[in-house]
Amino acid sequence: MRMVVLSKPAPLDDHYASIKTCKPRISVFKGIPSINLRDPKAKTLIIQACQEFGFFKLLNHGVPMETIARLEAEALSFFNLPRSVKDKAGPPNPFGYGTKGIGPNGDVGWIEYLLINTDQNPEISRSAVKDYVMEVKAVAYEVVELMAEGLGIEQRDVWSKMLREESDWCLRLNHYPISRDLQALSGRKMIGFGEHTDPQIISLLKSNNTSGLQICLKDGTWVSVPPDHTSFFVTVGDALQVMTNGRLKSVRHRVMTNSLKPRISMIYFGGPPLSETIRPLPSLMAKGEESLYNEFTWREYKASAYKSRLGDYRLGLFEKASTTGH
């Protein structure tokens, strides 16, 4: 079976029986908060969005479209290469090319991807990655500083410092090929990337105009996020949930394949330094408020997450006994 990306074939192997499917009865959700980064009320709107959804669309972010387009073109060029050439860039350890397999514990999806950073990415233009990451990091710093302000934290740079100083960051380029032939077999949607939360502090996602991203609302309902190739989607990570003692929630999300168009996404994951202790900020805690979590280092949490399955509730291992039953 050959999967077509634009005008070029980019096949994944046809052993897809282990990839899960879902009934495609998911409504398009029009209630995703859209926040203008230059809005004077942005800090308040961001906190409201992160409390309710753990997720929002960011407008007027300031990242040049030519910087975005250049990296997206580089990604498409790479994913359009013959499979034998792409395989030479893998497997990801931790950076490199992967296909179908997501992590070491048996999770699979209809996906191929490239995990890169500015020092280890011979497959993609280093300058394209460097320029993109520099711009997106600046946006991430501003967003987490607005979060700190919105929560009334006096130290505005409490989280941006973690993202600046020896940050454990990663850039992920995802390609979800068309799955028209597979869906014709059963009328169901193939899962491209299974449900999960992001373990880091914050994630900034940029995609083409192909739908597929879904988030889980508080009541457990899955909804489809309308694509917007001009904006970024910001996701609260597990580390930020802990550091706010649950005030901001990491959001469960997943990606479904599209039967008409391939999806390309580029995600910056902003993590703290590996040695950073993750615990609720004392300055945020109310008098008498107890931490919901046992403290841990980012290295410990990252190692724990690496041993888990995508859909596992990873924070459960670090919750204090009185808070179990999440």
As annotated, the active-site residues are 263
For tokens 């299974």, name the residue: 194
SS3 253: strand
Return d(Cα 83, Cα 13) in angstroms, integer.
9
Helix (H) or strand (E) holding 84: helix 83-87
Q: Are strands 34-36 and 55-59 parallel, antiparallel or unpaired?
A: parallel
Kindly write down the DSSP assignment for every residue of 94-146, as one continuous string: SSEEEEEEETTTTEEEEEEEEEE-SSS-TTS-HHHHHHHHHHHHHHHHHHHHH
Nearest alpha-carbon partner for 137 in 59, 48, 230, 232? 232
